[in-house]
């Protein structure tokens, strides 16, 4: 399957090829129009040349007859003078007739009338074509993933308690800043590019999961008790972690995801959709037959890639361990609503 960027680059090439094809068609139309203009100019020039040649011919013939008559008169030959006079009168008559027929001076000029239908059609077009989203359901379980490498880093700091670190969630922000949620120490830690801890903030209780909200802000689900939970917002400012607002919920807060200005929370038995202000929009799924129900559930959340392709981000919900994991896998899936579970 092509990656998103490869698909985007392929579509760009197709758009440019379409534009090139249109350019070739327009060049051909322009060439034909110019050829028509050249043909008309050639025809007009030929007509003018014909008139000019006829005038020169009549002038030369009259001049020759005039010279011949003068010679005959000088020689005193009356019969020849009569014949020459008749021919001269005939030629004068033909000349006067031709001049009379062409006595009106005509100034020839050409004007171009553009085809308004072509311009109107092009002006109504909003683009060179449209895009069709092809959908194909794929099973993530059937995909084989290869581990390219593995590295281990120590993210404990002197102020940590004697308990060992337990990294439960990780987020990478736009500036490649790395945030990890340490469940055992009840902290969010900021790492640099060398995976060294350069900042931290303490939470009120155990964190369960974390997701990216903005290029500089994350949301962390925090345990309160068996019936309540909270979401703590943490932002990065000048290389330091800053605690932000907090949302309280009347259920456990386990997994979390953010999409299209909505929050998705799991409690271990249910999946909720909230606004960014904490207002419940709807309960997507619930199974209270046990404390931790379900094996693996998928939420298909529609997102937008640029202005061209609508893609689907797959967010996995693991209810058996109550964590919501977000992968970087994008698949073209068909949905009939803003979300769908199966």
- Residues 327, 314 contacting (CB under 8 angstroms): yes
Is 294 within the bounds of a domain? yes
Is 12 within the bounds of a domain? no
Number of domains in the chain: 2
In degrees, rounded to 5, the angle at the alpha carbon of residue 272 between the alpha carbons of residues 227 and 233 is 75
Distance CA 268, CA 294 (A): 9
Residue 20, φ and ψ in degrees, nearest 5: -65, -40
Does 150 lie in the same domain as 49? no
pLDDT at 143: 66
Does 158 lie in the same domain as 85? no
pLDDT at 141: 60
Residue pLDDT, tens place only, 92-111? 877 777 777 776 555 677 88
Does 242 lie in the same domain as 94? no
Q: Which of residues 50, 83, 104 is at a domain's end?
A: 104
pTM of whole model > 0.85? no
pLDDT of 142 above 70: no
How do strand 256-259 and strand 262-266 relate by DSSP bridges?
Answer: antiparallel
pLDDT at 242: 95
282 falls in which pLDDT band (50, 70, 90)?
A: very high
Is 60 within the bounds of a domain? yes
202 falls in which pLDDT band (50, 70, 90)?
A: very high
Specify which of 47-61, 78-92, 137-151 reaches the highest per-range mean pLDDT: 47-61
Mean pLDDT for 270-287 is 92
CA distances from 118 to 16, 35, 36, 114 (A): 21, 19, 18, 9
Q: Which two tokens stand for residue 110?
A: 């050409």
With the CA atoms of 283, 285, 287 and 293 taken in that order, what torsion angle do they form, in degrees rounded to the nearest 10?
Answer: -120
Distance CA 78, CA 84 (A): 10
Residue 218's CB: how many other CB atoms inside 10 A?
A: 24
Determine which of 74-83, 181-190, 304-313 has the lowest per-residue pLDDT on average: 304-313
307 falls in which pLDDT band (50, 70, 90)?
A: very low
Q: Which of residues 77, 104, 131 is at a domain's end?
A: 104
Mean pLDDT for 206-225 is 93
Does 201 lie in the same domain as 81? no
Query: Coil, strand or helix: which one is 141?
Result: helix
Does 305 lie in the same domain as 165? yes
Is 135 within the bounds of a domain? no
Does 189 lie in the same domain as 66? no
pLDDT at 137: 65
Determine which of 56-65, 68-77, 168-177, 198-207 has the lowest per-residue pLDDT on average: 68-77
Does 217 lie in the same domain as 148? yes
Does 223 lie in the same domain as 87? no
Is 39 within the bounds of a domain? yes
Does 225 lie in the same domain as 302? yes
| CATH code of the domain containing 292 | 2.40.128.630
Does 84 lie in the same domain as 206? no
Q: Which of residues 79, 104, 129 is at a domain's end?
A: 104
Distance CA 133, CA 81 (A): 99
Q: Which two tokens stand for residue 269?
A: 């038995």
Determine which of 8-17, 136-145, 171-180 has the lowest per-residue pLDDT on average: 136-145
* Structural domain harbouring 149: 140-331
Candidates 246, 299, 247, 300; CA nearest to 270 is: 299
Distance CA 10, CA 308 (A): 12
Mean pLDDT for 78-87 is 74
Specify which of 72-81, 170-179, 267-276 reaches the highest per-range mean pLDDT: 267-276
Mean pLDDT for 154-182 is 87
Is 117 within the bounds of a domain? no
Is 340 within the bounds of a domain? no
Residue pLDDT, tens place only, 56-70? 887 887 777 777 777
Compute the mean pLDDT over every residue in the chain, rounded to the nearest whole number: 77
Distance CA 13, CA 19 (A): 10
Does 156 lie in the same domain as 94? no
Is 312 within the bounds of a domain? yes
Candidates 12, 2, 1; CA nearest to 306 is: 12
Does 74 lie in the same domain as 179? no
């Amino acid at each position: 399957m092509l990656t998103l960027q490869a698909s985007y680059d392929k579509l760009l090439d197709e758009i440019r090829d379409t534009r090139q094809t249109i350019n070739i068609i327009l060049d051909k139309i322009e060439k034909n129009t110019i050829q028509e203009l050249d043909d008309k100019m050639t025809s007009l020039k030929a007509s003018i040349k014909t008139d000019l040649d006829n005038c020169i011919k009549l002038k030369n013939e009259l001049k020759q007859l005039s010279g011949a008559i003068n010679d005959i008169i000088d020689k005193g030959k009356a019969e020849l003078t009569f014949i020459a006079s008749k021919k001269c009168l005939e030629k004068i008559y033909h000349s006067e007739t031709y001049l009379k027929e062409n006595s009106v001076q005509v100034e020839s000029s050409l004007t171009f009338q553009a085809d308004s239908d072509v311009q109107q059609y092009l002006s109504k077009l909003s683009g060179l074509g449209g895009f069709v989203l092809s959908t194909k359901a794929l099973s993530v379980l059937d995909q084989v993933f290869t581990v390219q490498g593995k590295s281990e880093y120590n993210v404990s700091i002197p102020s940590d308690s004697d308990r060992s670190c337990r990294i439960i969630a990780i987020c990478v922000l736009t500036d490649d800043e790395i945030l990890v949620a340490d469940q055992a120490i009840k902290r969010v830690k900021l790492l640099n590019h060398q995976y060294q801890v350069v900042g931290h903030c303490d939470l009120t209780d155990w964190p369960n999961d974390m997701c990216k909200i903005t290029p500089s802000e994350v949301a962390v689900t925090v345990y309160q008790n068996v019936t309540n939970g909270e979401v703590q917002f943490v932002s990065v400012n000048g290389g330091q972690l800053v605690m932000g607002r907090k949302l309280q919920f009347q259920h456990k807060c386990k997994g979390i995801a953010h999409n299209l200005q909505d929050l998705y929370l799991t409690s271990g038995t249910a999946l909720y959709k909230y606004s960014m202000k904490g207002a419940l929009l709807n309960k997507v799924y619930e199974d209270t037959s046990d404390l931790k129900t379900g094996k693996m559930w998928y939420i298909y959340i529609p997102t937008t890639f640029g202005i061209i392709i609508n893609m689907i981000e797959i967010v996995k919900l693991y209810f058996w361990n109550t964590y919501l994991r977000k992968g970087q896998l994008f698949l073209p899936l068909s949905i009939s609503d803003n979300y769908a579970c199966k």
